[in-house]
Amino acid sequence: MHGYLAGLKLEARLIRAQPDSLIPLVTAPLFTIIFLAIVRESGRYDLQPDALMAPVLIALWWVALQHAGQIITHDRWQALLESIVAAPTSLASLLFGRVTTVMCLGLVSFLEVWAIGAVFFDVSLRFEHPLELVLILVCTAFATAGASLAFAALFVMTRNAYTFTNSAGFPLYLLSGVFVPVAVLPGWIHPVSSAIFMSWSADLLRASVRPAPIDQFWGRLGMVVLLGVISFVIGRFVLIYVLRRMRMTGELATA
Amino acid sequence: MEAVEVEEVTRVFEPRRRGSTRVVALDSVSLTIPTGEIHGLLGPNGAGKTTLVKILSTVLLPTSGRARVLGHDVVDETQAVRPLIGIVFGGERGLYWRLTGRQNLEYWGALYKLSSRQTKARARELLERVGLADKADQRVEEYSRGMKQRLHLARGLMGDGRVLFLDEPTTGMDPLAAREFRTLIGELRGEGRTILLATHDMAEAEAVCDRVTLIDRGKIIATESPRTLGHLLTRFQRIDVEGAPEAVLEEIRTMDGVTNVAAVDGAGVRIEVDAEGVTQLVLERLVAAGVTSVRTGLPSLEEVYVQLIGERGMEL
Amino acid sequence: MSAIATTATIMRYAFRAGLADYRSMYTWKSWLAGWFVRVLAQVSFFALIGERISSDERATFYLLVGNALAVAAVTGVFSLNATSSERWAGTLPLLVASPSSPVIVFGSRGSYAALDGTVSAVSALFVAGPLFGMDLPWPRVLLVVPLTALVAYSCYCFGTFLAGVVFRFRNINSFVVLTSYMTIMAVCGVNVPLTYYPEALEWISRFMPLTNGLLAIRGVFEGDAASAILGDAALEAAVAIGWMTAALLSFNQFASRGRRDGSLDYGA
pLDDT of residue B315: 37
Distance CA A221, CA A238 (A): 26
- Which B-chain residues 35-54 have CB contacts (< 8 A) with chain A? 51, 54
Mutation site for A-interface testing, chosen from C53, C172, C187 by largest number of A Cβ within 10 Å: C53
- Could you tell me if A229 lies within 8 Å of chain B, comparing CB atoms? no
C102 or A90, which is more confident: A90
Same domain, B197 and B248: no
Scanning A93-152 for CB atoms below 8 A from B yields 94
Give the pairing of strands B72-73 and B64-69. Answer: antiparallel
More confident site: C46 or B306: C46
User: Which of A13, A77, A79 is opposite residue B91, by nearest beta carbon?
Assistant: A79
Instruction: Determine whether the interchain pair A34/C182 forms a contact, defined as Cβ–Cβ distance below 8 Å.
Output: yes
A23 touches chain C (CB under 8 A): yes
What pLDDT, on a 0 to 100 scale, did the predictor assign at position C268? 41
pLDDT computed for residue C80 by the predictor: 86
Asked if pLDDT for residue B233 goes beyond 70, the answer is no
Q: Do B58 and B205 lie in a common domain?
A: yes
Q: Are residues B227 and B250 in the same domain?
A: no
Q: Contact B47/B201 with Cβ under 8 angstroms?
A: no
CATH code of the domain in which B267 resides? 3.30.70.100
pLDDT given at position B310: 54
Pair (B227, B245) in one structural domain? no
Give me the pLDDT at residue C86, please.
Answer: 65
Query: Which residue among B13, B93, B108 places its CB closest to the CB of A250?
Result: B13
Distance (Å, whole) CA C236 – CA B184: 68
Buried b (16+ CB within 10 A) or exposed e, A91-128: bbbbbbbbbbbbbebbbbbbebbbebbeeebebebeee
For the ranges A12-21, A107-116, B266-275, C147-156, the lowest mean pLDDT is seen at B266-275
Considering chain C, what percentage of its residues have pLDDT values greater than 90? 54
Average pLDDT over residues C249-267: 71
A71 CB-side CA count, 13 A: 30
| Cross-chain Cβ contact B93/A2 below 8 Å | no
Question: Is the pLDDT confidence value at B301 over 60?
Answer: no
Question: What's the whole-model pTM score?
Answer: 0.84
From B13, B107, B112, residue closest to A88, measured CB to CB: B112
Q: What is the pLDDT of residues B109-162, one digit of tens each?
A: 999 999 999 999 999 999 999 999 999 999 999 998 888 988 999 999 999 999
Residues B244 and B222 in one domain: no
B151 at the A interface (CB within 8 A)?
A: no
Range of B252's domain?
237-297
What's the confidence (pLDDT) of residue B312?
Answer: 45
Q: What is the pLDDT of residue C226?
A: 93
Q: Give the strand order in the sheet containing B219-224.
A: B85-88, B163-167, B194-199, B38-42, B211-216, B219-224
Q: What is the DSSP letter of A186?
A: -
Predicted confidence band of residue B313 (pLDDT cuts 50, 70, 90): very low
Task: Using CB atoms, pick whichever of A10, A78, A84 lies closest to residue B93.
Answer: A78
C-alpha to C-alpha distance for C8 and B178, rounded to whole angstroms: 54
Q: What is the pLDDT of residues B22-38, one digit of tens each?
A: 899 999 999 999 999 99
Residues of chain C with C-beta less than 8 angstroms from the C-beta of A166? 34-35, 38
The three-class DSSP label of residue B215 is strand
Mean pLDDT, range B161-181, rounded to an integer: 86
What's the mean pLDDT when you consider all of chain C?
86
B partners (3+ CB pairs within 8 A) are: A
Tell me what pLDDT residue B316 has: 31
pLDDT, one tens digit per residue, over A176-201 is 999 999 998 889 999 999 999 999 99
Inter-residue contact A38 to A125 (CB < 8 Å): no
Which of A32, A34, A52 is most worth mutating to test chain C (most C CB atoms within 10 A of its CB)?
A: A34
> Are B56 and B121 members of one domain?
yes
User: Given this model, what pLDDT does residue A234 score?
Assistant: 93
Distance from CA of C107 to the nearest CA of A (A): 25
Chain B's closest residue to A2, CA to CA, is B113
Residue B79 contacts A where some CB pair is shorter than 8 Å: yes
B53 inside domain: yes
A14 touches C: beta carbon within 8 Å:
no
Domain ranges of chain A: 2-249
Cβ atoms of C102 and C45 within 8 Å: the answer is no
Contact with chain A for residue B161, Cβ under 8 A: no
Average pLDDT across chain A, whole number: 91
Per-residue pLDDT of C7-63, as tens digits, reads 777 777 777 777 777 776 677 777 888 789 999 999 999 999 999 999 899 999 999
The answer on B241 and B196 residing in a single domain is no
* Burial group, residue A130, by CB count within 10 angstroms (0-12, 13-18, 19+): exposed
Residue B103 domain-assigned (yes or no): yes
pLDDT value, residue A239: 92
Cα–chain-centroid distance for residue C217? 15
In a domain, B33, yes or no: yes
Same domain, yes or no: B68 and B181:
yes
What 3-state class would DSSP assign to B183? Answer: helix
Q: Which residue of B has its CA nearest to A17?
A: B98
Same domain for B272 and B203: no
Q: Which residues contact A222 (CB under 8 A, 6 or more apart)?
A: none
**Minimal Cβ distance to A87: which of B13, B54, B112:** B112
> Could you tell me if the ipTM is greater than 0.85?
yes
Q: How far apart are the C-alpha atoms of C3 and C69, rounded to whole Å?
A: 35
Sheet with B269-273, side-by-side order of all strands = B258-263, B269-273, B238-242, B293-297
Tell me the chain A residues in contact with residue B108 when contact means C-beta distances shorter than 8 Å.
83, 87
Q: How far apart are the first and last CA of chain A?
A: 33
Residues B58 and B132 in one domain: yes
- Domain at B159, CATH number: 3.40.50.300
A253: Cα separation from own chain's centroid: 28
Q: Which residues of C touch A27 (CB under 8 A)?
A: 178-179, 182
Question: Which residues in chain C have Cβ-Cβ distances shorter than 8 Å to A37?
Answer: 186, 191-192, 196
Average pLDDT over residues A66-95: 91
Chain A residue numbers touching B82 (CB-CB < 8 A): 86-88
Neighbours of B57 (CB within 10 A): 28
Provide the pLDDT for residue B311: 53
Average pLDDT, chain B: 87
pLDDT level of residue C267 (50, 70, 90 thresholds): very low
Q: How many percent of chain B have pLDDT more than 90?
A: 47
Q: What confidence tens digit (pLDDT) does each residue in A134-183 have?
A: 999 999 999 999 999 999 998 888 777 777 888 889 999 999 999 999 99
To test the contact with chain C by mutation, choose from A16, A32, A38, A196 the residue with the greatest count of C C-beta atoms within 10 A, namely A38
Domain count, chain B: 2
In chain C, where are the structural domains located? 3-256
Nearest CA in chain A to B57: A86
